[in-house]
Structure 1
Amino acid sequence: MFAMRRRGRVYYGLGGAAASDPDAAGVLPRPVRRAFRLAVSLANGRVTIPRFAGIAAAMSLFAATGLYGMVLGGHTGAVAEATTSAIGFSIDNVKVSGNLQTSEIDILQQLGLDGSSSVVFLSAASARERLISLPWVENAEVRKVYPSTVEIKLFERTAYGIWQHGDELSLIEKDGKVIAPLRDNKFASLPLFVGDGAQLEAAAFAEQLSNWPDVQARIKAYICVGGRRWDLRMDNGVVVRLPEENIARAMHTLSTLEQDQQVLERDIETVDLRLPDRTTIQLTEGAAARRDKAVADRAKMLKKLMEKGA
């Protein structure tokens, strides 16, 4: 193989010496010439390789291989998040406000935060959607404060009453939407609505009784019967049966009986107000037994008096 210069150019032949005629020599393809010249320069010592070039090349190869593996394995995002966390963007502080019923543990679990979470890669919109899926949360605001803080403001639902359906007890809003199952006694003072469909009419029906506050204050449960009418269970166990229509008339009758005769204080089981022209009162078993005994004793006494008079 040979090389020769002509007009400032070097031609590389395939023989062992410089060719006398560059046109007659075998010329290398253009793309190969640069690499060939570099190889010749390295062989002649005209080009010096940097001292740590080999190490740098090996590290570059390993880095490229690792990056390729991350891309194939889908770990690029995790690595990037860990990297930003390591340089000072890890989430170290979560400020939560407005959470009266929602625990901070539930909030952190819903967001999936851990020691490697980065504020850079936290999606505020996605975090908000996950928080809204919590039972008590109606709305939420999520704000990132660089370099390491997340601020969360919750807007929670308001419990209006307790709905009993079968053996289940659930907290409901005023419009009847179920919030969550009842788990403790701190909501025991809320009104109880019983029966299928009772949660949907709860607020509207309770509002109808607000004109009789003394009676309403003693109601322990509102019982929806067949989706058509309501019974009232009072705090002493007495059941008041209301009609389907003209509830105001029935409530006025009940209020009058209570004021004049303290009917709800007596040993009775039910007060039936379903018929517009009469009120039916059913005694408890004990009261009925005592009444029957009193009637029988009175009959015996009258009989004795009649026998003496005869």
Structure 2
Amino acid sequence: MDGGGRFPEPLTVAGFAGAGAGAPATPPGAGRAAGGAGPRAPSGRLAGYLPRFLRPRRASVAVPLGRRMPRLLGTALVFGFFGAVSAVGFVAGGSYAEFSARHGTPADVAARALGFGLDKVTIAGLAQLRSAEILQAAGIDQRHSLPFLSVVEVRDRLSAVPLIGAVSVRKIYPRELLVTLTEREPSALWQRNGEIAVIAADGTVIDRMRDGRFEALPLVVGEEANLRTKDYLALLEAAGPLKDRIRAGTLVSGRRWTLKLDGIDVRLPETGAREAMARLVRLEAESRLLGKDIIAVDLRMPDRVVVRLTEEGAAARQEALKKQQKKPKGTET
């Protein structure tokens, strides 16, 4: 003690595990006095140099659960519960589907409100198709928004259109979609089993005949006639001045063509069809054969032309033959 009756050091020793404010500390050497084997706790200055697992640990102080939970957690849980119940009822009752059908998804509605609506769709490369057909096939309208529109899905839908050969889709923020496409080139019409389809030059069906846009294309008829389209187009070129009068070509037994020309059937041979067509052009120029009362011209034999008359033409010919037979011999006409 000092002269005032005070101790120069505090009566508590810092650094002992479990030592708390106001609690008497175990004096140094007390462990050895009790049993002689108790380890001495390192001082606070020495503990800073020891490994972590050798340092003395402070006793944890338990904090009440009520003080550890965030404030207003109970209120938030109540509102969250009722919100979840309302959302489930909104979806299960069909209101969500009706809302989406009219206005789009909530995400689209929010994006449009922020100025990212789908206000403009630019389509490049149109030839036979129309803009309305592209939009319908792509499945896009004013309910969509640009951020939440999937260009992959739009491209896949347009690629499924038979008349479209290639397509690319690109977003142009904030409100424009650019669609660039390449149409397949239609070459002819193909009629089979009463149905007419639009085909390419290689015979691939690229669309079905839905309106009058393709009515001026050449028409081929019959099974596998689409695969012989190039041959038929070559015959049209060989027809020269008669080309515009040919209405259709029918492939017979997959071997030869019969042309429909102003209501007259022109039967061409299996081989040498172009040469036979040239013969028909000469006959028409010399004798106006196709203007007579005939319903068929058979050019399958290279050395002759066989024609079939109409009923009226056949009756008139029979009448003319009878008159010739009744004439007396030597009568001048």
Same fold (TM over 0.5): yes
- Cα distance between partner residues in 2 of 1:133 and 1:35: 65
The verdict on how the C-alpha distance between 1:85 and 1:57 changes in structure 2, with shifts beyond 3 A counting, is farther
The question of 1:58 aligning with 2:75 is answered: yes
The question of 1:264 aligning with 2:293 is answered: no
- Cα distance between partner residues in 2 of 1:62 and 1:37: 20
Do the aligned residues in 1 keep the contact of 2:264 with 2:297 (CA within 8 Å)? Answer: yes
Report how far residue 207 of structure 1 moved.
Answer: 1.5
Q: Secondary structure at the match of 2:134?
A: helix
Larger Rg, first or second structure (1 or 2): 2
- Cα distance between partner residues in 2 of 1:85 and 1:66: 24
Task: From 85, 99, 107, give the equivalent of 2:134.
Answer: 107
Task: From 41, 51, 62, give the equivalent of 1:33.
Answer: 62
Q: How far does the alpha carbon of each residue in 1:235-281 deviate from its partner, in whole angstroms, 9 at most, with x for none?
A: x2111111101123312321221122111111111111112232211
- Cα distance between partner residues in 1 of 2:82 and 2:277: 83
What is the TM-score with the length of structure 2 in the denominator? 0.68
Quick one: which amino acid aligns to residue 300 of structure 1? K
The verdict on how the C-alpha distance between 1:95 and 1:294 changes in structure 2, with shifts beyond 3 A counting, is same
Q: How far does the alpha carbon of each residue in 1:273-309 deviate from its partner, in whole angstroms, 9 at most, with x for none?
A: 112232211111110010001111221223796xxxx
The question of 1:250 aligning with 2:279 is answered: no
The question of 1:169 aligning with 2:196 is answered: yes
Q: Secondary structure at the match of 1:33?
A: coil
Task: From 226, 242, 246, give the equivalent of 1:219.
Answer: 246
Aligned to 2:146: 119
The verdict on how the C-alpha distance between 1:92 and 1:69 changes in structure 2, with shifts beyond 3 A counting, is same
Q: Secondary structure at the match of 1:89?
A: coil
The verdict on how the C-alpha distance between 1:80 and 1:183 changes in structure 2, with shifts beyond 3 A counting, is closer
Aligned to 1:87: 114
Gaps of 5+ in 2: 1-11, 27-58, 97-104
- Cα distance between partner residues in 2 of 1:276 and 1:188: 34
- Cα distance between partner residues in 2 of 1:123 and 1:197: 40
Report how far residue 35 of structure 1 moved.
Answer: 4.0
Greater displacement, 284-293 / 177-186:
177-186
The verdict on how the C-alpha distance between 1:58 and 1:95 changes in structure 2, with shifts beyond 3 A counting, is farther
Task: From 263, 268, 275, give the equivalent of 1:237.
Answer: 263
Do the aligned residues in 1 keep the contact of 2:168 with 2:179 (CA within 8 Å)? Answer: yes
Aligned to 1:15: none
Aligned to 1:183: 210
Task: From 274, 277, 296, give the equivalent of 2:303.
Answer: 277
The verdict on how the C-alpha distance between 1:103 and 1:67 changes in structure 2, with shifts beyond 3 A counting, is farther
Greater displacement, 238-247 / 90-99:
90-99
- Cα distance between partner residues in 2 of 1:68 and 1:119: 31
- Cα distance between partner residues in 2 of 1:295 and 1:240: 26
The verdict on how the C-alpha distance between 1:212 and 1:150 changes in structure 2, with shifts beyond 3 A counting, is same
Gaps of 5+ in 1: 12-17, 24-28, 43-48, 306-310
Report how far residue 38 of structure 1 moved.
Answer: 4.3
Task: From 153, 157, 167, give the equivalent of 1:130.
Answer: 157
The question of 1:151 aligning with 2:178 is answered: yes
What is the TM-score with the length of structure 1 in the denominator? 0.73
Aligned to 2:327: 301
The alignment yields a C-alpha RMSD, in angstroms, of 4.0
Quick one: which amino acid aligns to residue 211 of structure 1? A
Quick one: which amino acid aligns to residue 259 of structure 1? A
- Cα distance between partner residues in 1 of 2:66 and 2:203: 85
Q: How far does the alpha carbon of each residue in 1:188-219 deviate from its partner, in whole angstroms, 9 at most, with x for none?
A: 32211111111111123322442341132321
Aligned residues: 273
Report how far residue 63 of structure 1 moved.
Answer: 5.6
Quick one: which amino acid aligns to residue 58 of structure 1? T
- Cα distance between partner residues in 1 of 2:125 and 2:77: 51
